[in-house]
A and B are shown apart, each in its own frame.
Chain A
Amino acid sequence: MSDNEDRKLAIICSKGTLDMAYPGLVLANAALMSGIEVEMFFTFWGMDIIHKKKQNKLKFVPLGNPSSGMPNILAVLPGMSPLATKMMHKGLEKIDMPPVDEFLEMIHDAGGRIWACRMAMDMMNLTEDDLVDEVDGVVGAMEFLEMAEGAQILFI
C-alpha cells in the first residue's frame, strides 16, 4: 500500500476535445485514489477544460478519426459532431464518469493541483476570471517543469 507514496504524476493537457479531456482527468483521479501526487498543466486547446463557459461543452469530432467508425464522407455533414458528442456523453454516463466540471472539482478536492499556462492565456486573451475556481494558479512552462521535478510526465 505504501509503494505509491513517493510517486508523483505531472499531466500536461493540450487538447480540448471531449475524447482527449477524459484520459487526463481519469488518470489524475486514479493516481490520487492510489496515493500518487498530481500536478495538472493545461495549455493550448486544453485550456477549454478549465474554461468556465467551455468546460461542459467539449465536443467529440468524428471527422478524420478512423476509430470513430464514421466514414469521413458522413462525418463532414452538419450535425454529425453534436450527434457523436451526444453519444459519447451517453457512454460516459453509463460507466459513471462525472461531467468535466465535477471531475475537476473531485481532483482538486482530492489534493490534485491545477495550473493554467500563462502563454496560452495571453495568446487566447483570457483572464483568470474566465477560468474555473479550481485553478490553483497561472504559471509558465519553466515554473511547471520546476513543480514537476521528479514526477512522471504525461503529455496528452
Chain B
Amino acid sequence: MTTLADLKLDADGYLADPNDWTPEVAELFAKELGIELTDRHWQVINYVRQEWEKTGDMPSLRRITKQSGVPTKEIYKLFPKGPAGKIAKLSGLSKPKGCI
C-alpha cells in the first residue's frame, strides 16, 4: 500500500513528476485534502489529465469549467476553497500559475 510519504513531492507538496500519477495517487491526495472523490470529481481530474497529456500544461480553470462538463458553481462545490490548486494536486500536476 502506497502512502503520501512514498511519493516524491515538490516544495509545494504537489507531485514532483506528473508521470508518477495513478488514480491511487489522486485518492491519497484526496484524503489529505479531505475530499471524497465522486464521479463528478473524476470527470474533472480525467479531463485535466487528458489535456496535460496533449499539451503538457494544466488547462485554465475557465477552460476546465467550459470543457469538462462541470460548470463553475459545481467546481467550487466539489473542490471548495481554492479549486485551482486542489484540481492540480489531485491530477498530479504542479501548483498552477495561470491567472484565469
**A residues lining the B interface (CB < 8 Å):** 1-2, 4-5, 26, 29-30, 32-36, 95-98, 105-106, 109-111
8 pairs of A and B residues whose beta carbons are closest in the complex: A35-B82, A109-B72, A35-B81, A33-B84, A109-B73, A34-B82, A110-B76, A30-B99
Interface contacts beyond A1-B86, A97-B100: sample of 4 additional A-B pairs, CB < 8 Å, sorted by A = A33-B83, A35-B82, A109-B72, A109-B73
In the complex, 22 of the A-B residue pairs with CB atoms within 8 angstroms, ordered by the A residue number, are A1-B13, A1-B33, A1-B82, A2-B81, A4-B82, A5-B81, A29-B99, A30-B99, A30-B100, A32-B76, A33-B84, A33-B85, A34-B84, A35-B82, A35-B85, A96-B60, A96-B63, A96-B100, A97-B100, A106-B62, A106-B72, A109-B71
Interface size of B in residues (CB-CB distance below 8 Å): 21
The yes or no answer to B89 lying at the interface (CB within 8 A) is yes
Chain B residues within 8 Å of A105, by CB:
72
B10 to chain A, nearest CB (A): 13
The dominant DSSP class at the B interface is helix
Q: How far is the CA of A84 from the CA of B68 in the complex (A)?
A: 35
Chain A residues within 8 Å of B86, by CB:
1
Chain A residues within 8 Å of B60, by CB:
96
Q: How far is the CA of A30 from the CA of B63 in the complex (A)?
A: 14
- A1-B13, A96-B100 known; A110 and B85 CB under 8 Å? no
Residue-wise, chain B 59-73 has the 8 Å CB interface mask toward A (1 for contact) of 011110100000111
Q: Is the pair B100, A34 in contact by a Cβ cutoff of 8 Å?
A: no
